[in-house]
Amino acid sequence: MKSIDPWTIDVRGSWLARAALRGLELLRGPLSALGVDVGVARTLLAVRFLLDKRGTFAGLEGQFQTGFVLLLAMGWLSGIGVGIAAVAKLPGSTWVGLIAVHAFVMSLFVMLVHFGTILVDGSDVAPIAARPVSDRTFFAVRLAHLSVYVAAIASTSMFWPLLLGWLAYPWWAILVLVPIAALLGSACAIGVVAAGFSSLLALLGPDRFQRAAFWAQALAAGLFVGGPQLITPILIATLPKDGGAASMLWIEWVPPYCAGALYDLVTLQASATTVERALVAIGAPLVLSVIALLAAARGYVRGISADVVGPLPRTRTWPRISIGRRICRNSDEHAGYGLAAALVFRDKTFLRAVVPLAFALFAGALGGTMPLLREKLALPPVIGALPLYIFAIVVPAVAELLSVTSTPESAAALDALPIQHRVDVLRGALKAMLLRVVAPLFVAGSAFLLVLSHGRIGIHVPIAACGAFAIGLLSVRLLALRMPFSHRPLPGEGSMRNLPVMFGVVGVAILAGGVHFAASLHTLTTIGALILAVLLVPLAWHGLRGIREPRRA
Amino acid sequence: MSQPAVSLRGVHHAYLASKPVLDGIDLEVPRGTILGYLGANGAGKSTTIKILLGLLTPRAGEVRVLGLDPRTESLAIKRRVGYVPENALLYDQLTVAETLLLVGRIHGLTDAVVRDRGTAFLDALELSRETNARVATLSKGMRQKVLLSAALLHGPELLFLDEPLSGLDVNAQLLVKRLMRRLADGGRTIFYSSHVLGVVQEICDRVVILDAGRVAVEGTVEEVRNARAGGTLERIFADVTRPEGEEERVAALVAAIS
């Protein structure tokens, strides 16, 4: 039997880790010039990959891979559109530019939903903080770690363009340019995110960094979802009315779209600005990465070690306790309620997971209401309320996130208590989460839509809000949940268990939206829908009694 | 006279502006000595160590460690010191050998040197059977041994030990105490923070007792005892830091659970 030498940090089993370490070695010269200790960076990076592979506990080792494979599959599927665009026989430079933009958007999305926290996660800093590792080296390791995962996912989107591109363009140009454009787009996105975070650090200092980064992430999530819907009308309004393309030439200079110039360059169709635009495409990610590294030079380790939540305000807690006593059926449930009520606005991992989701949904609802704001479109008022059904997914999503925490070790303290039924603790925590996080979100979302539509969608808002809340609530009993605040998630971690429920909620929400639309055609049925939706909420709340026993870690 | 290993002058620090943790600390630790750094819970012992390592920046005052300023030269300081934190700060999913390799490589040691020194430490601390075990599977005492090995791996000039004997079995405690004495006799400095006053009395050259963020008592063990009319260090510590009304507080505690 082959004996394994324990005195080695072995990452030979991971091709991603090997690629990352090789990349660092190739960049040794420039990185050293920027003040990165490449030897130390290689060791730290190898350790990070090893830790990713091993997970938090032995029983969870498979989960990281599951989430990562899901994202790879998503990247692969997302490339279909750009691949098919080749058949439309767009100009080669436009198509290559689109590939870069697609990789850019895909990478941004992946960072927003999963991997962006690699740059700001302070949970594993402590073992290294007292060792001689410079801020820049530490940042470079995080950046390399992030880059490898994001680039791997973005690169799966190349499959369809590589497969279909030859139908319209020279095969050799496709083989060379598709990977380059995808990687440039991905690198540009990574550079934007990294430079954004490190600029926040440089501007605000380490003590405020985590808080600023947290709100930046939440806003970015909102912009990502709602931004295109908000920007599209503005873009359309600024388009030249005469159909002339001359005034839109500036777009050809915007990275990563300007990577399209590479096509003109390799097919010898260069115009006066082709070389410059190609240089912008290649230079932008480099410049952004250098800015990020330079800005992270001072206080990065201290910055990510700081807390997301500031000092607690001195507030009276009796109203919360009073509500908890009223809605909880026994002491275990009350204990779970108290735990969640205290932690939902303090646990940084939970907040990092939930607040961006809330912002994204808000932005989605806002985007959905945009047609109402356009005076020329005479749509029925109910259309403006239907985006509220998106909110149905908030309930199961936040219920699943209720288990995440920055201090999973504290779950042991909970286990040591004489809890009769763990499911009661979970139910109490769910109630606190529903009252303190989800219900305010629904109220705020409803109020937002009402104000935005100047009250034109009136009665339809409570119907949609109650309907969505009830649908979400009913789904909770189908979920496989963990004990509240008991689990530290890994980057990219995902579980297949609750995915069918999530898809089911989306399906039912769409169906409910259709029923709502049909009911809105007559006043009586509209009133009936309102009564039904309002009655469904307490019924669904009652259904929390049937939630499943929490999963063991 | 040689430069002190550690020097603090008028150091103030507060996590919340209204509640200072360190309120004007003045202190010097000569090289080649063991300083017992004592104080009640929340007195600022761990905060002092974090400031000395450059992990925290004090709100005011001057700090020097091995002649260097932690505010601007923390990397150079970290290269020359070893640190055993109060809580076992280790990556749970690394093995013992991987942990020592990680620390050794960060300090610029070759893998061969780490292997030799690591094997020697683990043998001495009776942990060699766990070389390939993940840290998550180790007991508290075993983790403490890994931390000690990691802190000593690069031969630091100055050691910051925050409750280093916590969780160790009696044999390991005896070994570590003897090791600390030998290291100090060999010219290394040890900044030793602990609540185990018997050990402090036994091995430390000097002691400092913090109270309410200030140095309340400082000197050699003998000086401190003579100044306080004899008695054990424990008695002196209690006199300096204990609030009034202990009996009443015990009675209140018992009444609360009765």
Predicted pLDDT at A237? 65
CB < 8 Å to B19, chain A: none
The answer to whether the beta carbons of residues A252 and A277 sit under 8 Å apart is yes
Q: How far is CA B25 from CA B10, B40, B158, B214, B251, in A?
A: 5, 16, 20, 6, 35
Nearest one of A256, A273, A255 to A264, comparing CA atoms: A273
Q: What's phi and psi for B101, nearest 5 deg?
A: -65, -45
Determine the pLDDT at residue A319: 58
Dihedral sign, Cα of residue A106, residue A112, residue A117, residue A120? positive
Element (H, E) at B246: helix B246-257
Give A32's pLDDT tier (boundaries 50, 70, 90): very high
Dihedral pair phi/psi, residue A508, rounded to 5°: -65, -40
Tens digit of each residue's pLDDT (9 = 90 or more) over B43-79: 899 899 999 999 888 999 999 999 999 999 999 999 9
Instruction: Indicate the pTM of the whole model.
Output: 0.85
- Judge residue B209's burial from the number of C-beta atoms within 10 Å of its C-beta, 0-12 exposed, 13-18 middle, 19 or more buried: buried
pLDDT digits (tens, 9 = 90+) for A273-329: 889 999 999 999 999 999 999 999 888 998 988 877 766 555 555 555 578 888 898
Residue A48 has pLDDT above 70, yes or no: yes
Flag whether residue B131 sits within 8 Å of chain A, measured between CB atoms. yes
pLDDT above 90: residue A537 = yes
pLDDT at A351: 86
Query: What residues have CB less than 8 Å from A453, skipping those under 6 apart?
Result: A369, A372, A381, A384
Q: Is the dihedral of CA A27, A28, A33, A35 positive or negative?
A: positive
* Average pLDDT score over chain A: 85
**How far is A312 from A131, CA to CA, in rounded Å?**
31
Residues of chain A contacting B83 with CB distance shorter than 8 Å: 130
Q: What is the dihedral of CA A223, A227, A230, A232, to 10 degrees?
A: 170
Interface test with A, best of B92, B103, B159 (most A CBs within 10 A): B92
Question: Which pLDDT score, from 0 to 100, does residue B29 have?
Answer: 96
Distance (Å, whole) CA B6 – CA B21? 19
Question: Does the pLDDT of residue A487 top 90, yes or no?
Answer: no
The Cα A410–Cα A337 span in angstroms is 16
Whether pLDDT at A375 is above 70: no
Instruction: Record the tokens describing residue A466, joined without a space.
Output: 């109650």
| B101: nearest CB among A9, A56, A128 | A9
Q: What is the reported pLDDT for B243?
A: 75
The reply to whether residue B103 touches residue A131, judged by beta carbons under 8 angstroms, is yes
A39 to chain B, any CB pair closer than 8 A? The answer is yes
Contacts of A133 in chain B (CB under 8 A): 75, 78, 106
User: From the CA of A155, how many Å to the nearest CA of chain B?
Assistant: 30
**Mean pLDDT score, A84-102:** 91
Give pLDDT tens digits for A444-453: 888 888 887 7
CA B181 to chain centre: 14
Task: Label residue A202 exposed, middle or buried (CB < 10 Å: 0-12, 13-18, 19+).
Answer: buried
User: Do A49 and A20 form a contact (C-beta atoms < 8 A)?
Assistant: yes
Q: Which of A50-64, A341-355, A356-370, B172-186 shows the lowest mean pLDDT across its residues?
A: A50-64
List the single residue in B16, B106, B111 with the smallest CB-CB distance to A133.
Answer: B106
User: A296 CB contacts (<8 Å, ≥6 apart)?
Assistant: A135, A136, A139, A197, A198, A201, A202
pLDDT at position A236, please?
Answer: 66
Instruction: For residues A101-128, give the mean pLDDT.
Output: 86
**pLDDT per residue over B77-130, tens digit each?**
999 999 998 877 899 889 999 999 999 999 999 999 999 999 999 999 999 999
Gap between the Cα atoms of A409 and A487, Å rounded: 8
- List, in sequence order, the alpha helices (H) in B153-215: 170-185, 197-203
Q: What residues contact residue A498 under an 8 Å CB cut-off, 6+ apart?
A: A396, A400, A479, A480
A372: pLDDT confidence band, cut at 50, 70 and 90?
Answer: low
**Å from A57 to nearest chain B CA?**
8
C-alpha separations of A339 from A129, A418, A436 in Å: 30, 15, 12
Chain A interface includes B83 (CB < 8 A): yes
**Are B140 and B167 spatial neighbours (Cβ–Cβ below 8 Å)?**
yes
Where would I find the H helices in A267-347? Answer: 274-295, 300-305, 318-327, 331-343
Residue type, B216: A
Contact A456, A522 (CB under 8 A): no
Tokens for A313? Answer: 């305000």
For chain A, percent of residues with pLDDT exceeding 70: 88
Helix, strand, coil distribution of chain A in percent, nearest 5: 75, 0, 25
Q: Are B196 and B176 in contact (CB under 8 A)?
A: no
- In this predicted structure, what is the pLDDT of residue A56? 42
Please say whether the beta carbons of A441 and A394 come within 8 A: yes
Bond prior to A538 in cis (omega within 30° of 0):
no
Q: Say if CB A93 and CB A278 are below 8 A apart.
A: no
Residue A54 and residue B105: Cβ atoms within 8 Å? no
Best mutation target, A7, A43, A123, A137, to test chain B (most B CBs within 10 A): A7
DSSP H or E segment with residue A367 = helix A348-373
Residue A74 has which token pair? 């998503």
Among A288, A213, A217, A222, residue whose Cα is nearest residue A256? A288
Closest-CA residue of A relative to B57 is A302
Instruction: Give the contacts of A275 (CB within 8 A, at least 6 positions apart).
Output: A261, A265
Instruction: Look at chain B and count its residues.
Output: 258
Q: How many CB atoms lie within 10 A of CB B72?
A: 9
Which residues of chain A are within 8 Å of residue B121 when distances are taken between CB atoms? none
**Helix (H) / strand (E) containing A230:** helix A206-238
Neighbour-count burial of B153, counting CB atoms closer than 10 A to its CB (0-12 exposed, 13-18 middle, 19+ buried)? buried
Q: How confident is the model at residue A270 (pLDDT cuts 50, 70, 90)?
A: confident
Q: Per this entry, what is the length of chain A? A: 553
3-state secondary structure of A351: helix
Token code pair at residue A134: 């410079």
- B198 Cβ neighbours under 8 A, 6+ residues apart: B233, B234
Q: What is the mean pLDDT of residues A152-177?
A: 91
Pair A202, A300: CB distance under 8 Å? no
Res A59: pLDDT: 35
Q: What stretches of A86-134 show up as alpha helix (H) in DSSP?
A: 92-113, 126-129
Q: What percent of chain B has pLDDT over 90?
A: 69
> Position B156: which residue type?
P
Rounded to a whole number of angstroms, the CA Rg of chain B reads: 19
**Which residue, chain included where needed, has tokens 């040591």?**
A416
Rounded Cα distance between B186 and B158, Å, is: 12
Q: What is the mean pLDDT of residues A422-440?
A: 93
- What tokens does A24 get? 């660092």
Interface test with B, best of A3, A4, A8, A9 (most B CBs within 10 A): A9
Sequence-separated (6 or more) residues with CB below 8 Å from residue A65: none
pLDDT of residue A504: 93
> Considering only CA atoms, which of A423, A404, A394, A398 is closest in space to residue A336?
A423
Beta strands B206-211 and B189-193 are: unpaired
Q: Is the dihedral of CA B182, B185, B188, B194 positive or negative?
A: positive
Count of CA atoms in the C-beta half-sphere (13 A) of B25: 34
* Tokens found for residue B72: 């601007």
Contact B64, B5 (CB under 8 A): no
Tokens (6 digits) for A252: 């050809």
